[in-house]
């Protein structure tokens, strides 16, 4: 039996894949990735695929980037793991210092965990306990946004706003105050930007006015709601949210899990609008796509409220086994070093322009309802009727059919419903980016012509 056949059979027999309808998966020939090289994924048969979604939005400087490989290898030679519960390790210390240096001013303490969901859980629990410790025990509620995604653990799901993913678990979740989020293509208020004057911010203000005395914090994905379908916010929305949080004494948690580390063209999305959140959650690109790691940053003011005598039990009773893992932190340090040495953000600017230009022609396709882009994140929303903005019926699996067509042509992408996501490694070359766009264009045309 060939190696591919043996592994494919074992894959079908033993693995339950995440966010995957396994009945469909069982019927498909699995792609089994064995190696990576720059912008390419290579399967066990040696076939190369352009990685159009950065292996779920994490790869920054490409696969098998020498400096990051080397940093991990060197750290393996020293130690792969020791706990951060009561002990420390050099990469975790150095990284915390660097993160404080590069994130918006005011964020001065780093709490590690190991993925975006836990990073958000940490922020929510920290905000909640902060209120308790300050004698503001009535401030127990959270404000989150429609269409938000903060991960799959139950606290993160509670502040999530994507019914398809979250509704089934509603009985298990804590209730939140849900604000309208901008989705200009399908404005929930039926308005058109910029004439709307960002009325959606007004609904948030209403919630704040009525409930601020009960609210611990607000959580937001700055600039782009990624998992909802790359929904971009109009300029000024984020700054408006910050202003309202300040005015009503609500802590602002910026979930930069998807948008952080250069994705929007700046190191952090908050920088675009000069926003200083009270907490910031980082994960995904933090290690350049090498290892699971998350960091929740907060202010010294919040940190200090947790200080006290041992018997006062003001401790933040939260921690994960692999919190501050030295291998992951070493990878993250090397990731940041490459940002600096390669001048990654400067190199990215013309590629962002190229992406914008390349996306233009998609707008003329009859099935393309909306094309959204912020920096190096883009989403193409496919619709059955362009005029009426009618979505395709789910059984048509339009998004999936397009990405399977692209796969045949040597490109790996993953849709969000019928939104085709484009989120390549920041290191992709201009030639590779053009190829990626060409394949996606052809794939949409082929699928919709059939
Ligand atoms: N927050 C945001 C904004 C995300 O996009 C994601 C994942 O896509 C998460 C949190 C959850 O991250 P993880 O999958 O690492 O738990």
Q: Which atom of ligand 1 is nearest to the CA of 56?
A: 8
Paired strand residues for 253: 219, 279
**Cα of 387 to ligand 1 centre, how many Å?**
33
Q: What is the Cα–Cα distance from 378 to 424, expressed in whole angstroms?
A: 10
Query: pLDDT per residue over 55-113, tens digit each?
Result: 999 999 999 999 999 999 999 999 999 999 999 999 999 999 999 999 999 999 999 99
Looking from the CA of residue 151, the nearest atom of ligand 1 is 11
CA distances (Å), origin 189, targets 185, 229, 349, 386: 11, 19, 34, 20
The pLDDT value recorded for residue 392 is 97
Is the Cα torsion angle 223, 156, 286, 95 positive or negative in sign? positive
178 membership: H or E segment, kind and range: strand 177-179
Is the CA virtual torsion 8, 14, 18, 23 positive or negative? positive
pLDDT of residue 379: 98
Top mutation candidate among 57, 118, 145, 150 for ligand 1, by most atoms within 8 Å of CB: 150
For residue 390, give the DSSP letter: B
Ranges in the chain, pLDDT < 50? none
Dihedral sign (CA 67, 46, 18, 229): positive
Tokens coding 284 = 């995904």
Per-residue model confidence (pLDDT) at position 165 = 87
Phi, psi values for residue 134, rounded to 5°: -85, 5
Q: Of all atoms in ligand 1, which is nearest to the CA of residue 118?
A: 16
Which ligand 1 atom is nearest residue 294's CA?
Answer: 15
- Is the CB of residue 254 less than 8 Å from the CB of residue 241? no
Q: Is the CB of 255 under 6 A from ligand 1?
A: yes
Q: Report the candidate in 114, 117, 192, 184 with the shortest Cα–Cα distance to residue 147.
A: 184
Ligand 1 contact via 117 beta carbon (within 6 Å): yes
Quote the ligand 1 centre to 230 CA distance (angstroms).
13
Pocket test for ligand 1, best of 230, 258, 328 (most atoms within 8 A of CB): 258
pLDDT at position 166: 82
């Amino acid at each position: 039996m060939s190696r591919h056949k043996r592994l494919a059979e074992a894959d079908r027999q033993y693995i339950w894949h995440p966010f995957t309808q396994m009945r469909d998966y069982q019927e498909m020939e699995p792609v089994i990735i064995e190696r990576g090289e720059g912008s390419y994924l290579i399967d066990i048969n040696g076939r190369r695929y352009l990685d159009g979604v950065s292996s779920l939005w994490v790869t920054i400087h490409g696969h098998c980037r020498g400096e990051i490989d080397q940093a991990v290898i060197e750290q393996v030679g020293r130690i792969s793991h020791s706990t951060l519960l009561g002990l420390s390790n050099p990469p975790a210390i150095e990284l915390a210092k660097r993160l404080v240096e590069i994130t918006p001013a005011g964020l001065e303490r780093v709490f590690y965990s190991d993925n975006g969901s836990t990073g958000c859980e940490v922020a929510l629990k920290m905000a909640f306990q902060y209120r308790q410790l300050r004698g503001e025990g009535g401030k127990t509620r959270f404000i989150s946004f429609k269409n938000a995604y903060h991960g799959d653990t139950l606290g993160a799901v509670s502040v999530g706003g994507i019914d398809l993913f979250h509704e089934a678990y509603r009985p298990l979740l804590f209730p939140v105050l849900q604000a309208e989020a901008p989705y200009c293509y399908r404005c929930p208020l039926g308005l058109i930007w910029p004439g709307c004057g960002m009325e959606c911010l007004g609904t948030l203000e209403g919630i704040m006015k009525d409930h601020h005395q009960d609210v611990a914090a607000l959580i937001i994905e700055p600039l782009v709601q990624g998992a909802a379908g790359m929904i971009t916010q109009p300029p000024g929305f984020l700054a408006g949210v910050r202003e309202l949080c300040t005015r009503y004494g609500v802590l602002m948690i910026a979930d930069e899990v998807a948008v952080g580390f250069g994705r929007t063209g700046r190191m952090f999305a908050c920088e675009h609008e000069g926003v200083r959140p009270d907490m910031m959650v980082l994960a995904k690109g933090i290690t350049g796509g090498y290892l699971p790691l998350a960091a929740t940053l907060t202010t010294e003011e919040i940190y200090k409220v947790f200080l006290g005598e041992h018997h006062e039990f003001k401790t933040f009773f939260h921690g994960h086994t692999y919190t501050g893992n030295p291998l992951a932190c070493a990878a993250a340090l090397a990731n940041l070093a490459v940002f600096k040495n390669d001048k990654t953000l400067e190199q990215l600017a013309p590629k962002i322009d190229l992406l914008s230009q390349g996306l233009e022609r998609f707008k003329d396709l009859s099935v393309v309802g909306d094309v959204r882009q912020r920096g190096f994140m883009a989403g193409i929303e496919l619709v059955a009727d362009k005029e009426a903005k009618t979505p395709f019926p789910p059984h048509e699996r339009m998004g999936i059919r397009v990405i399977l067509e692209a796969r045949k042509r040597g490109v790996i992408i993953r849709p969000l419903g019928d939104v085709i996501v484009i989120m390549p490694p920041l290191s992709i070359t201009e030639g590779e980016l053009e190829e990626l766009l060409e394949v996606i264009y052809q794939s949409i045309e082929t699928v919709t012509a059939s």
